[in-house]
A and B are shown apart, each in its own frame.
Chain A
């Protein structure tokens, strides 16, 4: 039986070679093997979206994603979003709009919003609400989060 799986994965721009147990999820790999703890473990069964990362630009639940599946793929976590010490416009917008309370959902929420805006630069409010339906926030009631995302080119209805 093959015990370990060889993995070559690009995380936030760096190619990393590791061997992992095939049971390792991408969430475990990012947090425990690489120390990227910005990716949060919430429900651990694909319902809450706190573990959302972008794989090849698309948001996925890293808790449902075996690390082995990320072989030769590009993964973006919240740590990879800032550039040259400057926060990403979405991160700035979340701060400006008070869209962060406890902060646990924020990394996943911002990455989901990034993928949404990359695909649709002028989303309507209902498109934003539908787009972030897989990211649960138990503090804000979503209003400030939706406003923050809409402030970057969105369309109020």
Chain B
């Protein structure tokens, strides 16, 4: 690793002024599980590390006045996976987070870090996108919100500017009757990155018509992607075996997988079809999440 300076600010204001002071050289670090590996390999050589895990206000899980769940950016992944409120209100978030790395990695890694690292295969992202998650971004200029779905530009790239810090993630309240599911296939049963991941959220009207559907795919494009064309053929209709077949086919077509060490593109595309189909079939018979 290259020589560097290390700062551990106690407040967001301090962190933002450090970022400004070391313009272009300051790198925000939280859990470090991605960054430290990259620094060791010489893939990244920040000169100044600003460790934001000592900022208390960024480590929290709470409800806001509208019934949404607010998760502070440096809340570690294991705290999210085990949180009773998240398990009760948006279990798919806990399901996604609980399969990131090992328990050792989840004790260090943070939700803000998993988002800002912007891996197309990140396990927290498909669920956050499917539930309409939003990201609070702060800088010395002020605060802005950005939806998770459009936060990513490409592998490792986001809309975040050098002067900005992700401070919170908000998961809006689920409408009653929403059912959700996160499906992940890796190469092995234990700790592994996703070869393909799928997040689904479905809500039926009383008559059995699909009122709301989100389909999000991970690890098969430069960023996690929603598939609106597959969603629209289900919305407003009765979810039949035939429609599920069509929707899963559209998802496979919409994916743009690459061949890499984990899988061939052909296998990934086939797996998209299988997982979307499997997930939708299961969701039709699943109990709803407690909204």
**What is the bound-complex CA distance between A88 and B252, given in angstroms?**
53
Q: Which residues of A contact B37 (CB under 8 A)?
A: 45-46, 64
Within 8 Å of chain A (Cβ to Cβ): is B102? yes
Q: Which residues of A contact B1 (CB under 8 A)?
A: 23
Within 8 Å of chain A (Cβ to Cβ): is B145? no
Q: Is the CB of B5 within 8 A of A59?
A: no
Report which of A52, A68, A135 forms a contact with B8, defined as CB distance below 8 A. A68
By secondary structure, the B interface counts as mixed
Q: A46-B37, A69-B51, A134-B191 are in contact. Are A112 and B103 (CB under 8 A)?
A: yes
Within 8 Å of chain A (Cβ to Cβ): is B9? no
Q: Is the CB of A71 within 8 A of B8?
A: yes
Within 8 Å of chain A (Cβ to Cβ): is B40? yes
Q: A25-B36, A46-B33 are in contact. Are A64 and B108 (CB under 8 A)?
A: yes
Within 8 Å of chain B (Cβ to Cβ): is A147? no
Q: Is the CB of B104 within 8 A of A134?
A: yes
Write the B30-65 contact mask toward A (1 if CB under 8 angstroms, else 0): 011100110111000001110101000000000000
Which 7 residue pairs of A and B lie closest in terms of their CB atoms, listed nearest first?
A134-B102, A22-B6, A133-B190, A23-B1, A2-B5, A58-B107, A61-B104
Q: Is the CB of A133 within 8 A of B36?
A: no
Q: Which residues of B contact A115 (CB under 8 A)?
A: 103
- Interface positions of A (Cβ within 8 A of B): 1-3, 5, 21-23, 25, 44-47, 49, 52, 55, 58-61, 63-66, 68-69, 71, 112, 115-116, 131, 133-135
Report which of B40, B49, B78, B103 forms a contact with A45, defined as CB distance below 8 A. B40
**What is the bound-complex CA distance between A59 and B103, given in angstroms?**
7
**What is the bound-complex CA distance between A36 and B68, given in angstroms?**
46
Between-chain CB contacts (< 8 Å), 17 pairs? A1-B47, A2-B5, A3-B3, A21-B3, A22-B6, A23-B39, A25-B36, A45-B40, A45-B41, A55-B107, A58-B78, A59-B103, A66-B32, A66-B49, A66-B51, A71-B8, A112-B103
Interface residues on B, range: 20 to 34
Q: Which residues of A contact B7 (CB under 8 A)?
A: 2
Q: Is the CB of B6 within 8 A of A66?
A: yes
**What is the bound-complex CA distance between A135 and B103, given in angstroms?**
10
Q: Which residues of B contact A22 (CB under 8 A)?
A: 4-6, 49
Q: Is the CB of A49 within 8 A of B36?
A: no
Write the B1-34 contact mask toward A (1 if CB under 8 angstroms, else 0): 1011111100000000000000000000101110
Q: A2-B6, A44-B40, A64-B37 are in contact. Are A52 and B53 (CB under 8 A)?
A: no
Q: Which residue of B lies closest to A59 (CB)?
A: B104
Q: Which residues of A contact B3 (CB under 8 A)?
A: 1, 3, 21, 23
